[in-house]
Each structure stands twice: as structure tokens, then as C-alpha cells.
A = this chain, B = another copy of it.
């Protein structure tokens, strides 16, 4: 007695799940969204700028996460031949397509705080 498998898992459903998994993998970890968000509003920024701007991140993490983002072509890394060499990071055009996601996430977070504290609408 073989049970017919439920045909619930439609193709579009699977595509959606894969899509979500992909995006979350690209944004994986505690810091990537913050780095992207900071670079999106700061434009070109150096390693030490980011280290100082992003509260709580350690050099090791920043370095590693930037490498991930660079591999996924969301940011570019440019060595500038200054006195002590500096390295500039910048969000690519492709990386900017993440902006709607980050904005939605930030918006929701604000909404969430408002709901927690009073707001008896």
C-alpha cells in the first residue's frame, strides 16, 4: 500500500525555498548586514573606519566577512598607495541591490521596538 506523496511541494515553493537559502547564505553570520549597511551609507571606507564604525566587531571578523562579501562581489577592495597603505572598501552596483532587503529589515526592527514599548494603537 503505497501512499501517494502529497504534491504540496510545488515547484515555485521549492524555488522560493532555494532562493531564501541562497540569500541567507550570502548574508550569513553576525556582521555582513551591518558591514553592508555601513558601507551603503558611508560610501568608500577604509578597514580601520569600518572597525571603528561597527560597534563590537573584531579585526578578525571584519577581515573574514569582508573577504566573503568580496567573493560574492558585493564589495570591492582597493589598495591605495598612501603613506601607510590603506585599503578602501566599497559596495558594488550588484551589492546595492541588497539595499531593499537591509532597509526592510531595519524598518521592521524599528516597528518591533515601537510595538514593545507601549504604542496602544
Q: How many copies does the complex hold?
A: 2
- Roughly how many angstroms separate A23 CA and B103 CA in the complex, as a whole number? 11
- The answer to the question of A9 belonging to the interface, with a C-beta cut-off of 8 Å to chain B, is yes
CB proximity to B under 8 Å, residues A15-29: 15-24, 26
A contact set with B: CB distance below 8 Å = 6, 8-9, 13-24, 26, 33-34, 37-38, 41, 49, 52-55, 94, 97-98, 100-102, 104-113, 115
Q: Which of B22, B26, B55, B105 touches A101 (beta carbons < 8 Å)? A: B105
Chain B neighbourhood of A105, CB < 8 A: 19-20, 23-24, 101
Contact B33 A20 (CB under 8 A): yes
- Roughly how many angstroms separate A22 CA and B114 CA in the complex, as a whole number? 12
Between A and B, 29 residue pairs with Cβ closer than 8 Å are A9-B55, A14-B55, A17-B55, A19-B105, A19-B106, A19-B107, A20-B34, A20-B37, A20-B102, A20-B105, A20-B106, A21-B34, A21-B109, A22-B109, A22-B112, A22-B113, A23-B105, A23-B108, A23-B109, A24-B33, A26-B112, A94-B115, A97-B108, A97-B111, A98-B108, A100-B108, A101-B104, A101-B108, A104-B104
